[in-house]
Each structure stands twice: as structure tokens, then as C-alpha cells.
Structure 1
Amino acid sequence: MPRGRAIRTCIAVAFVGALLILLFCPSPRILNPHGLSFIPIGYSNDLLDKQESQFFSAITSTNHFNCLAFRQRFPMITQHDGDMNVAFTMVVHKDVLQVARLLRMIYRINNYYCIHLDARSSQSFRKAMDGVAKCFGSNVELVPVEKRVAVEWGDESVLRPQLICAEQALQNDPTWSYLVNIVGQEFPLKTNLELVAALKALNGSNLVEAFPIDRFKDWVGNNTLPLKATWYKGTLYGAFRRDFLHMAVRGKAMAPIREAVLQHKVLQHPDELFFSTLAYNPHLRLPGACLIAPPPITEVNLGFPAKYVEWGDYGIVCPTKYTRFVCILGTPHVSLLRNVPHLFANKFHADYHPEAYDQMEEWYFEKISKEIASGTFANDSFNISVYSSRSCSRQHL
């Protein structure tokens, strides 16, 4: 081999080796009891972001060296998992390693994944996310560049990526029964088998939160809905039947309501109005719509099991910090999160209490290891009655 080529080869090997150490080996100076620390002391966030982006940008297939090194760190389920296929939509804009770690936990070959990148995401993040998608396989798809939305908190642009990804999931994968929507800063509290059990316990309903519009009347002003529908407010996130989403996203009958909520800056937080309004107006006849509207107060806020979030008005002491009125999850929350009935927890910041995410990740994969050995989830640690006893699970279209 020519001397120059040999030198370049050695440099390339050294770079990859150093990057693998950075991404996958804990720094002894901050080694936690689980040995899973990802962020060595002495590296700036900018440097970490750059190196993480380079690592994932290099991936060209599921067999790429970087991909295998990343995915094989924990037990991998390579077979069909569960007897119901699920679609996931993810809205992301930064922290490629955190997004990749989330996908590593929830990925199954029989599910479908649509990922929307904010139109204003950096070029390095976009290239890295291309590599992440290629690492997992053809059932992980990014929203095409020309369809991506620049998301502005509080207006209709927050809702548009959800509709785009739901449409893409309906179009590109005919096998899933429910869709679950999440963001890149969440953590899965349930394995795929547990998630499927929870979705089955809904008994054909949708998992949607709703409040009367009274407290949020200023969000809609004097705007009334077509089709004699009543406004309801709730979180954007939940679990939705395929046929519910088909009508909500594609159905001509619901077009007037879609057009009403997507008007540019006419409403405040229309993302928190759309699904709740459709799910709690049973006369609109959407599949799985709830017959008790609004639901009991025990089924909203922390009683809504799709997502564990500590908002600033819950009367709970936040032991970490607030960002946009949401308590950022960290080390003080680890024990609690392992025992709540919710599907996901929101939100973790990549550079804040990283040891908490490491500990939760190890706990999650310990559950996976037990499922691989037993073939089922641990019934004694997951009470599905939280889902089956919901008012909508018992009374819906």
C-alpha cells in the first residue's frame, strides 16, 4: 500500500475509534453506577454535537460499522414483536444522539416510524438524521424536505407536522392499527409489548385528552366551529386508531374543521384543539369517538396516561428546572418514572442530568432482556386497567 494511502487509512481508523469511545464509553471521571455515561467531562456541547453528527452522517445502511456499533450496545429484538403493529410519528429539531437513542428503544421491524425534521434544522442535523434513518431500515422514514414545516410555538405550524406524518403513515404502511405521536425529547416508559397491551385495553377507543374550552376561551376568541362542533382543549399527543386518523386527516367530511384550525395565526395553540375536538364530538361520527364529553377530571393532566408531564400549574414541586412551564426531568425523577402507568415521559434535555437518561435507558433494556427470555411482559409491574377503565374505553363509537 502506498505510504500516503496508508497514513490516510490510519487516520480514518483512529478517528472512528476515537468517536466510538466518545459516544459509547463512559468517562471514568463521571462514571455512574450503571456505567452508561455518554458525555465525558472536558468536551463542549458544540464539539459533542459536531462529533455526534459526523458519526451518524457516515451511516449508509443497517450494516454500516457505526450503525452496528450503536445498535448492538443493548439487546436487540430482531423478530416481529407483539401481535399489533403500531405507527410512531416523531417531531425533532436537534440533539441527534438523543433522538437516535429514543429510536433505538422503540424500534421494531413490524412498526412504522415517520420523523419530521423542523425546516430550520441545521444542515449537520439533517445529514445526521439521514444516517439515523438508514441505520434502522426502510420502515423508518423522514418527511421529504419539500414537505417540512418551520415550527413556531403556539400557532398552526405545530399541528401541521402531525398531519403530514399521519398522512405519510397512512399512505406508506397499511399494517398498523394505532398511531402514537411523540417528540425527540421524550422517554418510553413502556416496552413495545406493554404498549400493545395498553392499546388493546382501550377497547377500540382513542387515547385523547379533553377539557371544556371555558378556561381557554381566549384561544378561540369568537371563532365558532363548522358542523355544529363544540371546542375542546387537550394535549396534542395520544394514541389514535387508524380509521380515526383517516377521517381526521384525509376525510372530506372533516375538511371544514381542518381548515378552521389551520388558519394562519387565527387561533392560539390549535394543535391542542384539533384531536380533542374531533374525539369528543360524537355526532361527527369519527371511529372511537368518546360518548362522555368532557371526560372526568381524574382522566386529564397527570391522570392522562399517554404522557407523563409535570406542568407548572400542577401544584407539584419541580426539583430540577422549568422550561416553558414544563418541569425538565432529571435524576430526582428516576424512581418515580419507573413506576408510573404512562406510556412516555416528557421531557429530557440531552445536556441536563444526562445520568438520569442513562439510568432510565439501562432500566428499559433490562425489561427488554426479561421479555426476550420470557416471551412476554411482566404483568405484575404493569396494570392495564388504567387504560381499560377509562370512560372512553367503556363508552365510545
Structure 2
Amino acid sequence: MAYIRRTLYSLHLCGLISTVIPVMVWLLLMHNVSEMSWNASKRSSNWLEYTAADGSPEDDFKCSAILEGDTETLQKAKLLLITKDFKRSVQIPDEYYIHATQDCRMFKLRRKYLTFPLSQEEEDFPLAFSIVVHHKVQNFERLLRAIYVPQNVYCIHVDKKAEASVHAAVSGISSCFDNVFMVSQPVSVVYAGWSRVEADLNCMADLYNVSTTWKYFINLCGQDFPLKTNLEIVRSLQALKGRNSLESDHGPDWKKRRWQKVHEIVDGKLKATEQAKDPPPFNLPIFTGNAYIVVSRGYVNRVLEDNHVQELMKWFEDTYSPDEFLWATIQRIPNVPGSVWPNAKYDMTDVNAIARVVKWEPDEGSEGQLGAVYPMCHGKHVRQICIYGAGDLKWLIEQHHLFANKFDVDIDVIAIQCLEKYLRNKALAEEH
């Protein structure tokens, strides 16, 4: 509405008001109709809510009971997941997205994307996201749908090695939104190699150049999922008051081997050599963290433009899993916006940072077990990481983290569907 008023005033100053006023009146009417439609639809709670009509067989299980941790409902959900008919009914092939996105208006309508900000507070605090994808388009699209709002910007990096159908489907989805785009310089990602950092860095640069208004950068992978609505994320970030939130601590001694030796790629895999690396530049202490970060625009500016940081990144290029050290170390460099002092008293673990909650198998334990960091995984472990099941949701939605890793439609689609539904209903019910 304010935009239309400003436009009318500008046209008046230019002497064009008499020729354009009919169009502007039409826009005003459409705005009022849209506003009335939104209010009416919010009261009826149908067109933006996720229902069985979206292709999700939600009549087969009760998400409300699952979120409450009801044992009987969770057991029924587990049995449902192994039935062939159910597994077939919830799969969305890449070809669906390739064809559906040829009509973007219908795609966004059918998939119930939020095409307008739900509040002024959110509109005034835009965010930037990078999403790294290499498979499972359905996972990615559900993630995008859950976090999508028109004031944010989203950079998508698809691994150059990904199948052609993945590239085509993700490209088709991105093309339907003005604020979602494919990274300008995709790379072929090698597990634990520098290319994983490079994927985020290339998106960082694109996001920084495409918009000057976003406040915070959050990096995601295609198997992440939010635990908070966009409004809750905005308020969590506002509460940081310019600080960053990511794991950054002195870490265990055994991890030092990952950056004390030179590594090289052999037959597509990263291998350690016997060659010792030179000390880090500027005598910087190396800190331990992980790939997931929530950082201010000022932090991103230093990453992209500061000579000292550039030299540090160059030094990390032949280390193992540099994403476990790079962001955490930059976070402890004095004068980096949002950083903290390198003293051990300022160490932050992944449990305390808001960036991401990940359940590592060695740290799991039964309730009350001494030494356990979090309860047992209800899904499946892959590389010692919990792929969440429906039984994990009750615990997850009680956490302060913004996102959780990992989810997989092939392991437990019910967990994703119920979390989706919970967040959408919560977003629509929030007082803005």
C-alpha cells in the first residue's frame, strides 16, 4: 500500500497522474481485494495450509499425536513407512518438478508457497540463504517451500556431478521465483574437500552482490529443515544484535591432524599425505566448528574482501574438511563483525549455537544417562549422524536451534510432513 502511495506521488510530480491514474486505481482495488482475500482465507484456514489434497496422505496418520510423542501413533507411523503403497504414494519424482514448473503460477499455487510477507517485521528484516544440493529434489523442494518468503534471497548450488534430472528439476523450481537463483559458479563437490566450502563461498558472493538489504546469511544443505517459522528466525537473529552464532571452540587434539597435514584429491577422494603444512598465516589459532553458520552481513563482507581472511582461506585449501575449521576460526579473529574474543571462555559448542542441531550417534543416550548429549535417534544413522524419524519431532521442536540436520524422504517422510504442517500452521496462527 505504501509503495502504491509513493508511486502516485511520483507520477503527480512528473505530470503523468492523469494518464496513469486508471491503472493505479485498479492496483489499489486489487490490493484491497487481495487484502480482503488474505483475511478471509486466514479465517477459513484452507488455501495455505498443507492438506491431503497436496499429495500427502495425511489422513493415514495424526501429526498432532506424533508431535506430542504418542507411542501408539508413532508405532503406527513406523509400520506405515514400510508399506509399499504408502512409500509409492509419497514419492515425488524429479520429472514432476521438471514438468510442473513449466507453469510457475500453478506450481506455486498447488505447492502453497507464501508469495507475500506475513508481517512488516519480517519484510523489514530480509535474510540470505545458500542451499547446497546434490540429490533428492523432493527433500530440497520441501525445504525451500518451508523457508520461502518473497523478501528473502536464496542461492542454490547443485553439485556439478549431480544427475541431469536433478539439475533440470532444481533449475525449473528456481526459475519460478525472482528471489531464488542458481549459483553463478557451480563446482564439483568432493566429500570433506575444499570444494564444499567453495560451494558456499560462491553463493555467498552471489547473494552479497544481488542484494544490499539482507541482514544475516544462513547456509543449508538439501537435507536440512527448519525448526522455526520465518518470524521466529527473524526474532532470534534480531536478538543477536549483530553477533554471529556458530560452533567455535578449541576442539579435541585429534582433529588437529586434519589441518596439520597436506591433503590431496586422488581418484575423486581426499587423501592425507605425509607432508606437514606450514603454520597458519599471521600465527592465527585454529578453532573447531562445523559447516553450518548464522553470520551477519559484515562477517560475509570480511570473508569476501579482507586480505587476511583470503590468505587464511588459501591456507585451508589442502586440509581435510576445512568447513569444520574455517568459519570457526574467522569467528575468533578480532574486528570481524559479530565475532568473539579467541579466549577459551568464549568457546561455543554446536549445542549452544543456534545454527543447527545434529544428533551424533556417539553422543546419544537414554533419558537420564550421564554423559548423553541428546536422546536416542528414532530414525537411522548414516556416517554416525541421525536421519530423523517421526519420534524425534517432539524433542526437536523444543530446541532453540533454527534448523535441524538431517532429514530424508526415503527414510521417514512422515517426520518431514508433520514438521512442515506444524510450521505452516504456526506461521499462519502467529500474531504479526
The answer to whether TM tops 0.5 is yes
| Alignment-derived partner of residue 31 in structure 1 | 60
Q: Give me the whole-angstrom Cα distance separating, in 2, the residues matched to 1:294 and 1:131.
A: 47
Which of 291, 297, 318 is matched with 1:242 structurally? 297
Alignment of 1:308 onto 2:357:
yes
Same amino acid, percent of matched pairs: 26
**TM-score normalised per structure 2:** 0.72
2:416 is paired with a residue whose SS is: helix
- Pick the aligned partner of 1:322 from 365, 378, 381: 381
Distance in 2 (alpha carbons) for counterparts of 1:40 and 1:55: 23
The aligned counterpart of 1:141 is 181
The yes-or-no answer on 1:367 pairing with 2:426 is: yes
Report whether the alignment pairs 1:100 with 2:141.
yes
Report Cα offsets for 1:253-296 as digits up to 9, x if no partner. Answer: 3221111112xxx31111111111111122xx211220253355
For the Cα contact (< 8 Å) 1:167–1:250, is it kept in 2?
Answer: no
Aligned to 1:378: none
TM-score, normalised to structure 1's length? Answer: 0.78
Amino acid at match of 1:304: A
Please say which of residues 215-224 and 191-200 is displaced more in the overlay. Answer: 215-224
CA gap 1:78/1:197 in 2 versus in 1, 3 angstroms: closer
Give 1:251's aligned residue: 306
Question: 1:58 matched to which residue of 2?
Answer: 99
Q: Report the equivalent of 2:110.
A: 69
Aligned to 2:351, what secondary structure does the other structure show?
Answer: helix
Deviations 1:179-211 (A, max 9, x none): 011111111011111111111211221112112
Contact 2:117 2:123 in 1 (8 A): no
Give, in angstroms, the shift of residue 59 of structure 1: 4.3
Q: Which amino acid aligns with 1:172?
A: V
Long gaps (5+) in structure 2: 1-50, 67-76, 261-275, 366-375
1:110 deviates by 0.9
Q: Out of 87, 99, 112, which is 2:128 matched to?
A: 87
- Whether the 8 Å CA contact 1:188–1:343 is kept in 2: the answer is yes
* Contact 2:248/2:289, CA 8 A, preserved across alignment: yes
Larger Rg: 2
Aligned: 1:334 with 2:393: yes
Counterpart in the other structure of 2:413: 354
> Out of 221, 228, 244, which is 2:283 matched to?
228
* Aligned counterpart, 1:294: 344
**Secondary structure, aligned partner of 1:327:** strand
Asked if 1:216 is matched to 2:272, the reply is no
CA pair 129-244 structure 1, distance change in 2 beyond 3 A = same
CA gap 1:295/1:220 in 2 versus in 1, 3 angstroms: same
- Which residue of structure 1 lines up, in the alignment, with residue 150 of structure 2? 109
Over 6 Å off, 4+ runs = 35-40, 43-49
Alpha carbons of 1:40 and 1:315: their partners in 2 closer, same or farther (altered >3 Å)?
closer
* Aligned residue identity for 1:249: L
Shift of the 359–46 alpha-carbon distance from structure 1 to 2, 3 Å rule, reads closer
In 2: Cα distance, 1:169 partner to 1:199 partner: 18
Q: How many Å separate the matches in 2 of 1:46 and 1:249?
A: 45
Q: What amino acid maps onto 2:229 in structure 1? A: T
Aligned-residue offset at 1:154: 1.3
Cα–Cα, structure 1 residues 23 and 52, in superposed 2: closer, same or farther, change >3 Å?
farther
Counterpart Cα distance in 2 of 1:351 and 1:179: 29
Matched, 1:278 2:278: no
State the 1:78 CA deviation.
Answer: 4.4
Q: Give me the whole-angstrom Cα distance separating, in 2, the residues matched to 1:110 and 1:253.
A: 33
Secondary structure in 2 matching 1:113: strand
* Partner residue, 2:44: none
Q: CA deviation at 1:60?
A: 4.8
Q: What SS does structure 2 have at the residue aligned with 1:249?
A: helix
**In 2, Cα distance between equivalents of 1:71 and 1:314:** 38
Instruction: Say if 1:124 and 1:110 are closer, same or farther in 2 by CA, change over 3 A.
Output: same
Asked whether the 8 Å contact 2:128–2:153 carries over to 1, the reply is: yes
Between the aligned partners of 1:157 and 1:350, the Cα distance in structure 2 is 26
Of stretches 286-295 and 113-122 in structure 1, the one that deviates more from structure 2 is 286-295
SS at match of 2:217: strand
Which residue pairs with 2:39 in the alignment? none
